[in-house]
Structure 1
């Protein structure tokens, strides 16, 4: 493929993908905000050790989601810039901004992959909490 023949439709193909990705990131953020509010309501003034671990995990995830959104928006802006450059027939600038858009999108996806790993760690913490509750419920001191 001859890169000098890149048309405005090439970066336009990324628009729906980036938009859906940003929507997914926003949904993850909203769910995370809801989890934080529920944790705050559940724990009140006395925070258990497991909840402290969750709080640290949630903090890290909020930071990562913000980073994912930032790289996604940068990718969107660069993709738009690429389309503008190609429209103005500035082929080289359009190609470079498209390449930068792809790199930003890849960065966003890699941060997303890391955030998913952190999210799995949060689930592990919840499972530990459930196991602890089960052990406490079946301990000899809690018999009726």
Structure 2
């Protein structure tokens, strides 16, 4: 394994973190809008919406944490390879892949929950 192998993950992890940040910002906006609707007395299914949003916030935080940790492990892997500790570099790279996989699984779960959130909104319209 060369130093370029873990380097290939850098753009992918960076794009994932950007996507996760965008999801976080959207959730923050949804929470603010829900707060306004609650204050105006126009909200329905609020308990279910709040529960759903809380789950999504926690999942997005986990996605970001796993993604950042993957990025750090990938960086440490490159440093180890640069210092010619190839075995350590390979282990760190493998761990980096494991953490990015965890991040993606959390993302998949969050997508499922966001679909449920849309169904809650649709119920409120009926």
1:81-92 correspondence runs (5 A): 81-92=76-87
Measured on the aligned residues, the alpha-carbon RMSD in Å equals 1.2
Aligned length: 126
Instruction: List gaps (5 residues or longer) in structure 2.
Output: none
1:119 is matched with which residue: 105, 114, 117?
114
Segments of 5+ residues of structure 1 without an aligned counterpart are 1-5, 132-144
Please say which structure displays the higher CA radius of gyration. Answer: 1
TM-score normalised by L of structure 1: 0.85
> Normalization by structure 2: what TM-score?
0.96
TM-fit CA distance, 1:43: 1.2
Alignment partners' CA distance in 2, 1:127 and 1:45? 20
Using the alignment, how far apart are the partners of 2:40 and 2:71 within structure 1? 42
**Whose RCO is larger (CA < 8 A, sep 6+)?**
2
The Cα offsets for residues 59-97 of structure 1, whole Å up to 9 and x where unpaired, read as 010000000000000000000000000000100000000
Question: Do the aligned residues in 1 keep the contact of 2:34 with 2:43 (CA within 8 Å)?
Answer: no
For residues 45 and 88 of structure 1, the distance between their equivalents in structure 2, rounded to whole angstroms, comes to 61
